[in-house]
Structure 1
Amino acid sequence: MKQALFDISDRLALVTGSSRGLGNALARGLAHQGARVILHGRDLDKVKAEADKVAQDTGATVEAISFDVTDANATKQALETLIDNYGTPDILINNAGLQRRAPFNEFDTADWDALIATNLSSLFYVSRALTPAMSERGSGKIINIGSVQSKLARETIAPYSATKGGVALLTQGMAADLARFNIQVNCISPGYFKTEMNTALWQDPAFNQWVEKRTPAQRWGHFDELVGTLIYLCSGASSFVSGQNIFVDGGMTSVV
């Protein structure tokens, strides 16, 4: 009998920041493969409405949850309730993120603090709240969402790059601590995708041209091109893969 290496049917997955954009695409990818998915966002009504759409589109069981990922106590309380209601997630996708742009020497302190809180601290808070139950069970898959800026810098986004570099190294540290509990922790770092967060970029003809010239694939990525890597990292096929940062970027980080 063939082993279903990439089967994630009926596994419970929490995807933070999944009411729209890239996170929503990842959640839909999991749902299409038979996972039970919990969508998360800041506006519960919007998250519930989107959960209904994803369930209708995929036939999967989809739930909704809302809490502030930048608040450690609120996160802990919300995830305790989640475990009580649905059980311990098999899969955690740390996707919630924020972008702010300005020249480094003009960067606002409040924007710096918001980036650190949303892009890095939230990953720590959510993972810390769920991994004790995953460890007790003896299994878990955690996928952190990085960026090509985990490796490359670009003007006006130095603080964002710092947070995504932190995500990559926190992934390695988590893997070192959690592998003994059969929890694999990896990072997916997308290249340039047309998300709501970077609308100003893909609507700029000059920046479009730069992306196409800078990327060996000569184009922006499509959301569905992230799903294959995601399913691999969420499935039994990656049972001995941990602490890795996989760039899904059309070759951008491979060239100068």
Structure 2
Amino acid sequence: MSGDSAVGFDLTGKLAVVTGARRGIGLALATALAHAGADIIGVSAQLETGGSAVEQAVREAGREFTALPCDFADRQAVARLARTLGELEHPVDILINNAGTIARAPAAEHSDADWDHVLTVDLTSQFQLTREIGRGMLARGSGKVIFTASLLSFQGGINVPGYAAAKSGIAGLTRALANEWAGRGVNVNAIVPGYIATDNTRALREDPARNAAILERIPAGRWGRPQDLGGLAVFLASPASDYVHGALIPVDGGWLGR
């Protein structure tokens, strides 16, 4: 990278696909990439085809936005999404795998249906979509793939065995794909959010005992905000990260360093 170092973070002319873009972390990541210059395709199961919060944020940043609803629990729907993305005039430069779900129940009460649903949405569909989009990136010799991992990619959590298993799988998948694709011009990395104030963590924040225990463990002394992840997403999507491969980078207020 030469000249002004800010050039390394410029995403002008790039097309980014952000899954799970309707709210929370996905909305924040799409917004950050748009402000860095990328046009955005937002994908979520219940994403409105017009007038969504993510569309408004992207357009306010001066970038183009396209909505593609997709149910990540449906493998055929994911296959259709991949075909649609593969047929675009402008190829996908950046793929943010952020779609996810969670089911909370003690392991002894965690149903097969919940297990299958969480693993399909949080792991299987992520691989399926990345495999298909990754082929085009490999053919062009360039591309950025960013997964949303979790603290539970490193820890077991409580009452979320399916989610912990899926996010541990995302850690392994990030490294496995990086091993194969790094030498072919495609970067594969993962953001590791800490305890972020989103719908997925509402049950924890509304439980006084759990909320207090979590905050006591976070050196920063607060829950994270979705926008706290935006800067890292821009870095991993940009030329500034061209020599970063297979990394799982925490944004956790210091939780893992405790």
- Fold match, TM over 0.5? yes
Q: Distance in 1 between matches of 2:188 and 2:64?
A: 25
Partner of 2:40 in structure 1? Answer: 37
Return the match for 2:144 from 141, 144, 147.
141
Structure 2: gaps (5+ residues): none
SS for the counterpart of 1:142 is strand
Contact 2:19/2:98 (<8 A) preserved: yes
TM-aligned CA deviation for residue 184 of structure 1: 0.3
Q: Distance in 1 between matches of 2:123 and 2:183?
A: 24
Q: Distance in 2 between matches of 1:55 and 1:174?
A: 29
Q: Distance in 2 between matches of 1:190 and 1:35?
A: 22
1:86-97 equivalence runs, <5 A: 86-97=89-100
RMSD value, Cα? 1.5
Contact 1:150/1:164 (<8 A) preserved: yes
1:19-38 equivalence runs, <5 A: 19-38=22-41
Contact 2:35/2:61 (<8 A) preserved: yes
Partner of 1:49 in structure 2? Answer: 51
TM-aligned CA deviation for residue 157 of structure 1: 1.2
Partner of 1:110 in structure 2? Answer: 113
Partner of 1:249 in structure 2? Answer: 252
Partner of 1:2 in structure 2? Answer: 4
Stretch deviating more after TM superposition (197-206 or 208-217): 197-206
Contact 1:135/1:182 (<8 A) preserved: yes
TM-aligned CA deviation for residue 205 of structure 1: 2.5
TM-aligned CA deviation for residue 72 of structure 1: 3.4
TM-aligned CA deviation for residue 86 of structure 1: 4.2
Partner of 1:152 in structure 2? Answer: 155
TM-aligned CA deviation for residue 81 of structure 1: 1.9
Structure 1 stretches of 4+ with a deviation exceeding 4 A read none
Partner of 2:231 in structure 1? Answer: 228
Normalising by the residue count of structure 1, what TM-score does the alignment of the two structures yield? 0.94
Equivalent residue pairs, number:
254
Normalising by the residue count of structure 2, what TM-score does the alignment of the two structures yield? 0.93
Q: Distance in 2 between matches of 1:146 and 1:47?
A: 27
Contact 2:17/2:41 (<8 A) preserved: yes
Partner of 2:183 in structure 1? Answer: 180
Partner of 1:72 in structure 2? Answer: 75
Code of the residue aligned with 1:33 in structure 2: it is A
Code of the residue aligned with 1:22 in structure 2: it is I
Structure 1: gaps (5+ residues): none
- The C-alpha deviation readout for 1:68-88, integer Å capped at 9, x for no partner, is 333333323322222323422
Q: Distance in 2 between matches of 1:155 and 1:80?
A: 38
Contact 1:54/1:62 (<8 A) preserved: no
- The C-alpha deviation readout for 1:179-223, integer Å capped at 9, x for no partner, is 122000001010001101221111222222112101111111122
Contact 2:25/2:229 (<8 A) preserved: no
Contact 2:144/2:188 (<8 A) preserved: yes
Contact 1:217/1:251 (<8 A) preserved: yes
Give percent identity, aligned residues only.
38
